[in-house]
Amino acid sequence: MKPAPFAYHRVHSVEAALERLHELGEEAKPIAGGQSLAPLMAFRLARPTALVDISRLAELAHLARVGDELRVGALTRHATVESGAAQCGEGFEVLSRSARFIGHGPIRRRGTFGGSLAHGDPSAEWCLLALALDAVVIARDRAGERAIDAGDFFTGYFSTALAPDELLVEVRFPRPRPHSSLKEFSRRRGDFALVGVAVALDLDRAGRCEDVRIAFGGVDDVPVRVAAAERLLEGEPAEADAFRAAAELCGAELGRGLGDEDGRLKRRLMVELSVEALGEASAGVPG
Amino acid sequence: MAPCLPGASIEGKDGDVYTGAMRTKVGPIVASYRGTLKFDELDKEKRRAVISARAEEVSGQGGAEAQIVTSVIEGEDGSLVVIETDVQIRGRVAQFGRGALEKISQKMFADFAKNLERQLSGESEAAPEEAAREGGGAREATAAPPSPTAADGTAEQASLDVLGLVGEQIGPLARRVGAPLLVGLVVGFVVGRSGRRGERGPG
Ligand SMILES: Cc1cc2nc3c(=O)[nH]c(=O)nc-3n(C[C@H](O)[C@H](O)[C@H](O)COP(=O)(O)OP(=O)(O)OC[C@H]3O[C@@H](n4cnc5c(N)ncnc54)[C@H](O)[C@@H]3O)c2cc1C
């Protein structure tokens, strides 16, 4: 099946892209790596009347540390993050390590960080990590920039806080989180996760957990944190028993509505994956 | 029924069969259907209705069949509307991206339930979209289940129980309108084999 007809505009600057999007209105869409939008259009599930191709905007393809903060340009490819542990610097290893879960090689070479967030799939790796690492999304329109907390960014299935004439330009991760991990289960390699979990925590000198984040994907229309389980771990020793208790609480909180076979599987996955992720996070970066 | 379904319009009536169209949008995904809706059973006293719907995709080879059973359980502090649906979706769309359509249907019926609740609580004006999405973003999973009754009453048929999902969407709304009314929604999807296959598709 072929996509419905659409107009195509390639732009060479962010300003030009924003002008175009504004002038073309709601039915126009930016296209970056095309790894989500193109299949949707091929199936005619999405029928934008115009595409604004931002894929060549080199000014948005950065990956750099600014002090504690890691700044990921919207057009940074998944593959760049995967091989970019050095650019990400200490404390952001989880990003490079998790990139390999995204689709396959060709998808990772084309697909973009910003595109993944803007697409807002509730089981996408970058969406989960944005939430777990307290990322801030920088959006720009003709009037200027605004910062949106990851926790406010995802609004529903494939829906975000971005306005139609706004571009996601950068994602900022505020500080290194050496104790973080992402675990997921998918039925086949390269598939989107059936359930995924991203965790981050700090350890005090006595080995107790602080500032815990536990975020799940694939269990709701947006990635979700489980505040009760995060609180439960606060101040607890980073040990298997505490992790198990928190994981069980996650399963109980989120698995509540899931009654059928699929739901039971998801619930079990939530528990086992978060036990694993918390264990890995507390152990720190593997050698 | 149409006023409860966002993007739906009733175009004609032939006996107890209504013809209509429906357009639904989830992020970038838009699906348009045209079809018929029939009340197989309508018991005003018990406030129970059995509705069957058939629809064809406007520009595609796909289609959908649904059976919707709505009933009202009177409780001490309000009514509980229980909506059970079995949706079967055919066509390419059904095979796409981990059942994207399942999700569209989920949202559709969640909207349906919200609107129904609004009507039942006597609110004439449709509340602004944000209200329903109140607190948006990545919500923390703290919402209480809407009611155990909803689950008990309908669990056997439901193959996918999205009470949790809907409970979260509806919880804040119910508080906002201040009506002691809960809407429980159990969507039983029988998407069949094609839907399962769809789980492996690209996103
Ligand atoms: C077979 C397959 C398997 C995949 N598996 C996974 C997986 O396991 N995990 C995963 O996370 N992803 C997976 N993907 C999706 C992939 O990661 C996409 O690259 C990503 O979701 C979207 O990035 P993109 O650059 O390709 O965006 P596009 O497809 O170009 O755009 C996606 C959406 O975002 C909007 N958009 C893009 N960039 C911007 C911007 N800068 N500002 C505002 N809006 C923007 C577009 O308008 C569009 O609505 C898979 C894809 C395929 C085809």
Instruction: Say whether both A96 and A157 belong to one domain.
Output: yes
Instruction: Say whether both A231 and A255 belong to one domain.
Output: yes
> Is B162 touching A (CB cutoff 8 A)?
yes
Query: Does pLDDT of B138 surpass 50?
Result: no
**Mean pLDDT over residues A127-146, rounded?**
98
pLDDT of residue B61: 65
The answer to whether the CB of A107 is under 6 A from ligand 1 is yes
Name the minimum distance, in Å, from the CA of A284 to any CA of chain B: 26
Tokens for A60, please give them: 């948005």
Instruction: Say whether both A39 and A83 belong to one domain.
Output: no
pLDDT of residue B163: 25
Which site among A107, A117, A185, A221 would you substitute to test the B interface, given the most B Cβ atoms closer than 10 Å to its Cβ? Answer: A221
Residue B77 alpha carbon to ligand 1 centre in Å? 46
Query: Does pLDDT of B151 surpass 50?
Result: no
Judge whether A27 lies within some domain. Answer: yes
Query: Does pLDDT of B194 surpass 50?
Result: no
Q: Which tens digits make up the pLDDT trace of B91-104?
A: 655 555 445 556 66
Q: Which residue has the higher pLDDT, A78 or B190?
A: A78
Judge whether A258 lies within some domain. Answer: yes
Q: Which residue has the higher pLDDT, A1 or A197?
A: A197
Instruction: Say whether both A140 and A84 belong to one domain.
Output: yes
Instruction: Say whether both A129 and A194 belong to one domain.
Output: no
pLDDT of residue B203: 40
**Mean pLDDT over residues B72-86, rounded?**
69
pTM over 0.80: no
Separation between Cα atoms, residue A224 and residue B86, nearest integer Å: 27
> Is A283 touching B (CB cutoff 8 A)?
no
The count of C-alpha atoms lying within 13 angstroms of the C-alpha of A64, restricted to the half-sphere facing its C-beta, is 7
Length of chain A equals 287
pLDDT of residue A270: 95
Which site among B23, B24, B26 would you substitute to test the A interface, given the most A Cβ atoms closer than 10 Å to its Cβ? Answer: B26
From the list A29, A44, A257, the residue facing B165 with the nearest CB is A257
The number of distinct structural domains making up chain B is 1
Tokens for A274, please give them: 């978060």
Out of A261-270, B43-52, B141-150, least confident range: B141-150
Number of neighbours of residue B56 by Cβ within 10 angstroms: 16
Q: Which residue has the higher pLDDT, B195 or A120?
A: A120
Q: Which residue has the higher pLDDT, A248 or B187?
A: A248
Number of neighbours of residue A90 by Cβ within 10 angstroms: 11
Out of B75-84, B86-95, B124-133, least confident range: B124-133
- What is the rounded average pLDDT for all residues in chain B? 52
Judge whether A114 lies within some domain. Answer: yes
Domain encompassing residue B81? 2-199
pLDDT of residue B3: 54
- Is B174 in contact with B117 (CB distance < 8 Å)? yes
Q: Which tens digits make up the pLDDT trace of A95-107?
A: 999 999 999 999 9
Out of A85-94, A135-144, A231-240, B130-139, least confident range: B130-139
3-state helix, strand, coil in chain B (%, to 5): 30, 40, 30
The number of distinct structural domains making up chain A is 3
pLDDT of residue B141: 31
The answer to whether the CB of A77 is under 6 A from ligand 1 is no
pLDDT of residue A152: 98
Instruction: Say whether both A156 and A184 belong to one domain.
Output: no
Out of A41-55, A114-128, B42-56, B146-160, least confident range: B146-160
- Pairing assessment for the beta strands A28-31 and A50-53 based on DSSP bridges: parallel
CA A283 to chain centre: 23
Query: Does pLDDT of A87 surpass 80?
Result: yes
Within the 87-146 window of chain A, which residues sit less than 8 Å (CB to CB) from chain B? 103, 119-121, 123-124, 131
Q: Which tens digits make up the pLDDT trace of A143-157?
A: 999 999 999 999 988
Name the minimum distance, in Å, from the CA of A269 to any CA of chain B: 17
- Please report which helix (H) or strand (E) contains residue B189, including its range: strand B182-189
ipTM of the predicted structure? Answer: 0.71
Judge whether A287 lies within some domain. Answer: no
Number of neighbours of residue A144 by Cβ within 10 angstroms: 7
Q: Which residue has the higher pLDDT, B63 or A174?
A: A174
Separation between Cα atoms, residue A51 and residue A58, nearest integer Å: 18
- B29 and A256 within 8 Å at the Cβ level: the answer is no
In order, the DSSP letters of B2-67 are: GGGSTTEEEEEEETTEEEEEEEEEETTEEEEEEEEEEEEEEETTTTEEEEEEEEEETTSS-EEEEE
Instruction: Say whether both A88 and A49 belong to one domain.
Output: no
pLDDT of residue A256: 76
Of A107, A142, A173, the domain-final residue:
A173
Residue from A13, A27, A35 whose mutation best tests the ligand 1 pocket (most atoms within 8 A of CB): A35
- Is A132 in contact with A118 (CB distance < 8 Å)? no
pLDDT of residue A217: 94
Judge whether A2 lies within some domain. Answer: no
Judge whether A167 lies within some domain. Answer: yes
Q: Which residue has the higher pLDDT, B33 or A268?
A: A268
In order, the DSSP letters of chain A are: -PPPP-EEEE-SSHHHHHHHHHHH-TTEEEESS-TTHHHHHHTTS---SEEEE-TT-GGG--EEEETTEEEEETT-BHHHHHT-HHHH-TT-HHHHHHHTTSS-HHHHHH-BHHHHHHHT-TT-HHHHHHHHTT-EEEEEETTEEEEEEHHHHEEETTEES--TT-EEEEEEE-S--SSEEEEEE-SSTTSPPSEEEEEEEEE-TTSBEEEEEEEEESSSSS-EE-HHHHHHHTTSBSSHHHHHHHHHHHHHHHSTT--SHHHHHHHHHHHHHHHHHHHHHHH-S--
Separation between Cα atoms, residue A68 and residue A134, nearest integer Å: 13
**Mean pLDDT over residues A236-242, rounded?**
96
Residues with Cβ within 8 Å of A113's Cβ and at least 6 positions away in sequence, in order, are: A72, A73, A74, A75, A76, A77, A78, A81, A126, A171
CATH number of A215's domain: 3.30.390.50
- Tell me which range, A144-148, B9-13, B199-203, is most confidently predicted by mean pLDDT: A144-148
Judge whether A168 lies within some domain. Answer: yes
Instruction: Say whether both A192 and A250 belong to one domain.
Output: yes
Residue A189 alpha carbon to ligand 1 centre in Å? 18
- What is the rounded average pLDDT for all residues in chain A? 93
- Tell me which range, A187-196, A220-229, B100-109, B182-191, is most confidently predicted by mean pLDDT: A220-229
Domain encompassing residue A240? 180-282
Instruction: Say whether both A94 and A14 belong to one domain.
Output: no
Alpha-carbon separation of residue A246 from A208, A220, A234, B83, B141 (angstroms): 14, 19, 10, 33, 14
Instruction: Say whether both A129 and A65 belong to one domain.
Output: yes
pLDDT of residue A262: 73
- Is A68 in contact with A28 (CB distance < 8 Å)? no
Instruction: Say whether both A137 and A90 belong to one domain.
Output: yes
**Mean pLDDT over residues A56-85, rounded?**
97
- Is B34 in contact with B56 (CB distance < 8 Å)? yes
Of A173, A205, A228, the domain-final residue:
A173
- Pairing assessment for the beta strands B48-57 and B29-43 based on DSSP bridges: antiparallel
Q: Whose CA is nearest to atom 11 of ligand 1?
A: A124
Residue from A9, A11, A27, A31 whose mutation best tests the ligand 1 pocket (most atoms within 8 A of CB): A31
pLDDT of residue B192: 24
pLDDT of residue A37: 92
- A156 and B142 within 8 Å at the Cβ level: the answer is no
Alpha-carbon separation of residue B57 from A44, B23, B95 (angstroms): 11, 10, 14
Judge whether A1 lies within some domain. Answer: no
CATH number of A13's domain: 3.30.43.10
Percent of chain B whose predicted confidence (pLDDT) is above 70: 29
Collect all residues of chain A within an 8 Å Cβ-Cβ radius of residue B94: none
CATH number of B32's domain: 3.30.530.20
Residues with Cβ within 8 Å of B6's Cβ and at least 6 positions away in sequence, in order, are: B24, B108, B111, B112, B115
- Is B90 in contact with B195 (CB distance < 8 Å)? no
